[in-house]
Structure 1
Amino acid sequence: MALDIHRFIQRFVEEAADHLPRLREGISALEQGQAEREQINELFRAAHTLKGSSRMLKLVPITALSHSTEELLSALRDGTLTATPTVTSLLNQAVDGLSDLVSRLADGATGDDLPAADEALCSALENAAHGQPPTQHSTPDTPTPPSSSSTSSATLVTENELRLSDTVRVRLDRLDDVIRLMGEVLSGHHHLHGLVDQARELSTTLPAEQQVPFHAFHRELKDSVLSHESLMSDLHDRALQMRMLPLSVVFDPLAHMSRELAQSLGKQVDCRVQGSEIELDRQMIDRLSDPLIHLLRNALDHGLELPAERQTAGKPSRGQLVIEAWQDADWVVVEMRDDGAGIALDAVRQKALAKQLINEEQLNALSEQETLELIFLPGFSTKSMITDFSGRGVGMDVVKRTVVDEFNGDLQLASEPGSGTRFTLRLPLSLAMMRVLLVSVGGVNLGVTAPYVSELVECSSHSFIDAAGQRTLILRNEFVPVVSLAQLLELPTTTAATDNTLLLVVHQRHQKLALIIDSLIDERDMVIKPLPAHLRYLPLVSGMVSMGRNALVSLLHVPALLEATRHNALRPSHERASPTLAKRILVVDDSLNTREIEKDVLEAWGYHVTLAENGRDGLAKALAEPFDAVLTDVEMPVMDGFALTSQLRENEVYRHRPIIIITSREKEADRRRGIEVGADAYIVKGSFDQNNLIETLQALLG
Structure 2
Amino acid sequence: MALNIKLLLARFVEEASKHCDNLEKELLALETGGFSKEILDSVFRTAHTIKGTARMLKLTIISEVAHRMEDFLELLRNGQNSFSKESMDSLLKGVDTIRLLIADVAAGTPLPESLPPVCFELEQLLSKDKVPEGCQANPSKSIQEPELEVRKRAAAHHDFVQIRAERLDELIQLMGEMVSFQYRKKQQTKMMHDIMLLSASSLEFVSCHNGAQAAHRHKELADSLNAMHNQLRKLQDSLRNDAVIENLLTTDLQERSLKIRMLPISTVFDKINRVVRDLARTTHKEIEFEVEGGDTELDRKIIEQLGDCLLHMVRNAVDHGIELPQNRIRAGKSPRGIIHLAATYDAGGVTITLSDDGAGISIDDLKAAAIKKQLLTEEAANKLTETELLDLIFLPGFSTSSIITDISGRGVGMNVVRQTITENLKGFVRLQTRTGQGTTFLLKVPITLALSHMLIVTAANQTFAVPAYSVEEVIMLPASQVIDIIGKRALRVREQIVPLEELESILGCPQAIPHERKELLIILLTSGAQRLGVIVDAVISEADMVIKSLPSAIQHCALISGFTVGSNDEIISVLGVSALMRQINENKITASKGLGIEPQKQHKTILVVDDSANTRDIVKNILESYGYQVDLAEDGIVAIEKTGKKIYDAVITDVERPNYDGFSLTLHLRQDERYRQIPVIIVTSREKMEDKRRGIEVGANAYIVKGAFDQNNLLETVRNLIG
TM bin (shorter chain): 0.5 to 0.7
TM-fit CA distance, 1:440:
1.0
* Contact residue 379 and residue 393 of structure 1 kept, 8 A: yes
Q: In the alignment, which of 438, 447, 459 is matched to residue 441 of structure 1?
A: 459
Opposite residue 401 of structure 1, the aligned amino acid is: Q
Larger RCO: Structure 1 or Structure 2 (Cα < 8 Å, ≥ 6 residues apart)?
1
Do residues 683 (structure 1) and 701 (structure 2) align? Answer: no
* Contact residue 599 and residue 625 of structure 2 kept, 8 A: no
Opposite residue 678 of structure 1, the aligned amino acid is: G
Q: In the alignment, which of 543, 546, 562 is matched to residue 527 of structure 1?
A: 546
C-alpha distance in 2 between matches for 1:684 and 1:319: 42
Q: In the alignment, which of 587, 610, 619 is matched to residue 608 of structure 2?
A: 587
3-state secondary structure, aligned to 1:400: helix
C-alpha distance in 1 between matches for 2:395 and 2:445: 21
Count of aligned positions: 538
Q: In the alignment, which of 570, 577, 588 is matched to residue 558 of structure 1?
A: 577
* Contact residue 319 and residue 339 of structure 1 kept, 8 A: yes
TM-fit CA distance, 1:597:
1.6
Aligned to 2:506: 488
Change (3 A) 1:595 1:333: closer
Change (3 A) 1:269 1:105: farther
Mapping 1:293-312, distance limit 5 Å: 293-306=311-324
Opposite residue 558 of structure 1, the aligned amino acid is: V
Aligned to 2:492: 474
* Contact residue 246 and residue 278 of structure 1 kept, 8 A: yes
Aligned to 2:349: 331
* Contact residue 645 and residue 659 of structure 1 kept, 8 A: yes
C-alpha distance in 2 between matches for 1:596 and 1:289: 33
Cα shift readout 1:193-237 (whole Å, capped 9, x = no counterpart): xxxxxxxxxxxxx99997655433321121223333333333333
Aligned to 2:418: 400
Aligned to 2:256: 238
Change (3 A) 1:108 1:567: same
Aligned to 1:81: none
* Contact residue 458 and residue 502 of structure 1 kept, 8 A: yes
C-alpha distance in 2 between matches for 1:313 and 1:680: 35
C-alpha distance in 2 between matches for 1:468 and 1:56: 65
C-alpha distance in 1 between matches for 2:384 and 2:111: 47
* Contact residue 303 and residue 421 of structure 1 kept, 8 A: yes
TM-fit CA distance, 1:496:
6.3
Do residues 575 (structure 1) and 593 (structure 2) align? Answer: no
TM-fit CA distance, 1:688:
1.8
Structure showing greater radius of gyration is 2
* Contact residue 104 and residue 111 of structure 2 kept, 8 A: no
* Contact residue 360 and residue 433 of structure 2 kept, 8 A: yes
TM-fit CA distance, 1:541:
0.8
Q: In the alignment, which of 687, 693, 699 is matched to residue 666 of structure 1?
A: 687
* Contact residue 577 and residue 606 of structure 1 kept, 8 A: no
TM-fit CA distance, 1:685:
1.4
Change (3 A) 1:676 1:353: farther
Change (3 A) 1:210 1:545: same
3-state secondary structure, aligned to 2:524: strand
C-alpha distance in 1 between matches for 2:286 and 2:549: 44
Aligned to 1:700: 721
Mapping 1:34-113, distance limit 5 Å: 107-109=107-109
TM-fit CA distance, 1:436:
0.7
* Contact residue 511 and residue 592 of structure 1 kept, 8 A: yes
Say which is worse superposed, 305-314 or 236-245, in terms of deviation: 305-314
3-state secondary structure, aligned to 2:580: helix
C-alpha distance in 1 between matches for 2:685 and 2:589: 27
C-alpha distance in 1 between matches for 2:596 and 2:271: 58
C-alpha distance in 1 between matches for 2:515 and 2:371: 49
Cα shift readout 1:142-197 (whole Å, capped 9, x = no counterpart): xxxxx9xxxxxxxxxxxxxxxx999899xxxxxxxxxxxxxxxxxxxxxxxxxxxx
C-alpha distance in 2 between matches for 1:408 and 1:497: 34
Change (3 A) 1:435 1:388: same
Mapping 1:313-392, distance limit 5 Å: 320-328=338-346, 330-338=348-356, 340-343=358-361, 347-348=365-366, 350-361=368-379, 374-392=392-410
C-alpha distance in 1 between matches for 2:327 and 2:678: 43
Cα shift readout 1:64-116 (whole Å, capped 9, x = no counterpart): xxxxxxxxxxxxxxxxxxxxxxxxxxxxxxxxxxxxxxx999844489799xx
Query: Gapped runs of 5+ residues in structure 2?
Result: 1-12, 19-92, 115-139, 141-155, 162-221
Cα shift readout 1:538-572 (whole Å, capped 9, x = no counterpart): 11111112213421200111111111112214687
TM-score by length of 2: 0.65
Aligned to 1:423: 441
C-alpha distance in 1 between matches for 2:700 and 2:328: 44
3-state secondary structure, aligned to 1:573: helix
C-alpha distance in 2 between matches for 1:470 and 1:56: 63
Q: In the alignment, which of 630, 634, 649 is matched to residue 655 of structure 2?
A: 634
Mapping 1:212-223, distance limit 5 Å: 213-223=231-241
Root-mean-square deviation (Å): 4.3
TM-fit CA distance, 1:582:
5.5
* Contact residue 434 and residue 638 of structure 2 kept, 8 A: no
TM-fit CA distance, 1:437:
0.7
3-state secondary structure, aligned to 1:389: coil
* Contact residue 342 and residue 421 of structure 1 kept, 8 A: yes
* Contact residue 58 and residue 111 of structure 1 kept, 8 A: no
TM-score by length of 1: 0.66
